[in-house]
Amino acid sequence: MDYLPIFADLKRRPCLVVGGGEVAWRKIRMLHKAGAEVRVVAPELHPEVAAMVHRQEVLHWGDSFAPEQLDGVFLAIAATDKKAVNALVYQSANQRQVLVNVVDDQPRCSFIVPSIIDRSPIIVAISSAGKAPVLARLLREKLEALIPQHLGNMAELAGRFRDRLKAKLPSLTLRRKFWETAFTGRFESLVASGQEQQAMDALEQLSQGLEPRGEVALVGAGPGDASLLTLRALQLMQQADVVLYDYLVSDEVMELVRRDAELVCVGKRAGFHSVSQEQTNQLLLEYAQKGKRVVRLKGGDPFIFGRGAEELSVLAQANIPFQVVPGITAAAGATAYAGIPLTHRDFAQSAVFITGHQKPDGDALDWSTLARGQQTLVIYMGLMKSPYIQQQLIEHGRDSATPIAIIERGTQRQQRVLTGQLSQLSELAAQAESPSLIVVGEVTTLAHQLHWFSGETQSDIPAPQAALSL
């Protein structure tokens, strides 16, 4: 280990920055943020530094560097473009045993400043010991995405409860268990949704040994490509005790569920239901009432043709806490991966989403509105009803030559895109498999120019007249 990472308390400690340019400014800002008493030595000051001096946030200690300026200083940073000055700062600081950093000159550093992920009071510092700063930065970006924003808040609130818990639970083992449950349970989700008082109440209840209340997260799993999951979806999937999922959720996404979680398939497919909606509602309720952290994972977005609201109503009536995590709906995901923009200044000023799968008592759709030009019509679950949809749209005035696309397994490796005209809709639909999305409108022609994602399987549809496959 070339460097020992330590977290220094700089509050009110004198720190010297030699240099007044842009680089120096960044260092000054950092030291000021950490509460240091910053002294700047430079003949000229960057406007931002001058403004800080003016606001009395930092002290302008002199125009040129003299070794005595280091007396009584905790650490020093040299950020001038003059090699000789930087070298003198380094040498004088070393003589006085003052920590020193010459910017971008690693051999002249007795300390280095790491890349930081700031979720105060949680701070993660990364360093490559000056060997590969870009690699350290890439790592930092990865961790930034992975570490939830509310982590700092959670640590802060936990800190407030620490002494109280110590008094209540003298056993260290029990306290550790307590925090493990809190950081992955109700306390965590309340902090994540900004409900601090309720979060503190949850800690209190947990410390009284009250059965942790179960809760349900209705989570959108997106259209298939696991990298389209939201960070929140991933966090919840990795904390869940039970995951109820249906057939639309891709295997790739399921791979990311916590290994120990119980998986319950409540697969639903148009035509045959393996588990009825009522049974699913009941299961959600039962698991939550047992105190489990339940994730209800649904393809796409849970509130778009997903019956998510029906499941939540049952929970709301039973007073079970829940949260909703949106997902990328098929209309957004599959079209993006097929190179079809839903709207376009020239071709479509609106987009309408409908489902081809209606309630048994019939179709409540206003076909004359749906058949209008200058709009994109996106049809979910439309394969089976495609002959009817084709006929209704043409009957109500949409040109039979309107370009269409069918996107099968959008965003997944097996994605296929079939294109043609409205008059060929049912013919094309017969060659596609579920899940497929039907898109009607001029924007679909852009797929020929804008397609960028190549699925594993290329379409092998023999082009009927103008129909093309990508």
Active site residues: 246, 268
Q: Contacting ligand SAH (CB under 6 A), which of 234, 407, 428, 432? A: 407
Quote the crossing angle between the two packed helices 172-183 and 196-207, to the nearest 10°.
140
Is 261 a binding residue for ligand SAH by CB under 6 A? The answer is no
| 407 labeled part of a ligand binding site | no
The span of 195-203, 281-289, 408-416, 439-447 binding ligand SAH (CB under 6 A) equals 408-416
DSSP 12: T
Residue whose C-alpha is closest to residue 113's, from 40, 15, 7: 7
Of the candidate residues 426, 434, 445, 469, the single one contacting ligand SAH (CB under 6 A): 434
Tabulate helix, strand, coil % of the chain (nearest 5). 40, 20, 40
Type and span of the H or E element at 439: strand 436-440
56: left (phi over 0), alpha (psi -120 to 50) or beta: left
Which range touches ligand SAH (CB under 6 A), out of 91-99, 161-169, 199-207, 429-437?
Answer: 429-437
411 lies in the binding site for ligand SAH (CB under 6 A): yes
Distance CA 1, CA 164 (A): 38
Check the annotation: does 80 bind a ligand: no
Q: What is the dihedral of CA 85, 91, 96, 100, to 10 degrees?
A: 70
- Are 229 and 301 in contact by the 8 Å Cβ rule? The answer is no
Helices (H) and strands (E) in the chain, counts: 17, 20
Rounded to the nearest angstrom, the gap between the alpha carbon of residue 375 and the centroid of all alpha carbons in its chain is 31
Return the number of the residue (112 or 384) whose C-beta is nearest ligand SAH: 384
Task: Give least dist CB 228 to ligand SAH, A.
Answer: 10
Note whether 331 and 342 are within 8 A (CB): yes
445 Cβ neighbours under 8 A, 6+ residues apart: 403, 419
Query: Structure tokens of 15?
Result: 């720190």
Number of residues that bind ligand SAH (CB under 6 A): 24
Cβ closer to ligand SAH: 321 or 333? 333
Rounded Cα distance between 11 and 37, Å, is 7
Report the nearest approach of ligand SAH to the CB of residue 221 (Å): 9
User: Is residue 43 marked as binding?
Assistant: yes
Site membership for ligand SAH, residue 402 (CB under 6 A): no
Binding pattern for the stretch 157-196 against ligand SAH, x by CB under 6 A and - elsewhere: ----------------------------------------
- Return the residues of window 324-353 that contact ligand SAH according to CB under 6 A: 329-330, 334
410 assigned to a ligand binding site = yes
> Of 264-323, which residues contact ligand SAH (CB under 6 A)?
298-301, 304-306
Rounded to the nearest whole angstrom, what is the least distance from the CB of residue 122 to ligand SAH in the complex?
34
Interface residue with ligand SAH, options 27, 268, 409, 416 (CB under 6 A):
409
Site for ligand SAH in 369-398 (CB under 6 A): 380-381
Considering only residues 190-229, where is the footprint of ligand SAH by CB under 6 A?
Answer: 223-224
Q: Does 330 belong to an annotated binding site? A: yes
Q: Scan residues 230-259 and list those touching ligand SAH (CB under 6 A).
A: 248
Asked whether residue 300 is marked as a ligand-binding residue, the answer is yes
- Nearest Cα to 113, choosing from 151, 75, 69, 160? 75
Can residue 437 be called a binding residue for ligand SAH (CB under 6 A)? yes
CA distances from 209 to 181, 206, 291, 341 (A): 11, 5, 13, 53
Question: Which residues make up each annotated binding site?
Answer: 22-23, 43-44, 223, 299-301, 304, 329-330, 381, 410
Q: Which residues bind ligand SAH (CB under 6 A)?
A: 223-224, 248, 298-301, 304-306, 329-330, 334, 380-381, 407, 409-412, 434-437
